[in-house]
Amino acid sequence: MNPTELATQAQGIADRAAAFAETARRMAEAAAPAAEAVSPFLYLLTIFLLACFVGYHVVWNVTPALHSPLMGVTNAISSVIVVGAILAAGMAESTAARVFGFLGVTLAAVNIFGGFMVTRRMLAMFKKKGS
């Protein structure tokens, strides 16, 4: 294949890519009114619920052999978040910063407590299998 044929083929591919891009642009413009019809709250709520669903299935399908090391790392990260949130809340000058610091401490504490609860559940499963 000589350079002229290669350049011709590349130009043809580039033309097709430009046509596809134009088609995608027109489709996006046609879909824009439908996207604007959905309220931002409903859109964000949908994302939150899907994230909860996926997170639930990801966490509960972790094999028992990996669960304890993963929970240990998660609890270590959450403990660092608790320390940072306490510092943020303690040194905050505005009420909003104090509220977000408090929320950070609360949510990270819930994560740590939940990790220990799930690990305890896993230990109970190991005891049943060993019996």
Q: Is residue 59 part of a domain?
A: no
pLDDT band at 22 (very low <50, low <70, confident <90, very high): very high
DSSP 8-state code for residue 94:
S
Q: Is residue 36 part of a domain?
A: no
For the segment 84-111, the average pLDDT, to the nearest whole number, is: 85
Do 90 and 105 meet the contact criterion of CB atoms below 8 Å apart? no
Residues 37-90 pLDDT 10s: 677 788 888 888 998 888 788 777 777 677 667 767 777 777 888 888 888 888
* Total number of domains constituting the chain: 1
Q: Could you tell me how many residues make up the chain? A: 131
Domain that holds residue 82: 64-130
- For residue 122, the model assigns a pLDDT of 55
Q: Is residue 9 part of a domain?
A: no
Angle between helices 95-130 and 64-90 in degrees, nearest 10: 160
Q: Is residue 24 part of a domain?
A: no
DSSP 8-state code for residue 62:
S
Q: Is residue 57 part of a domain?
A: no
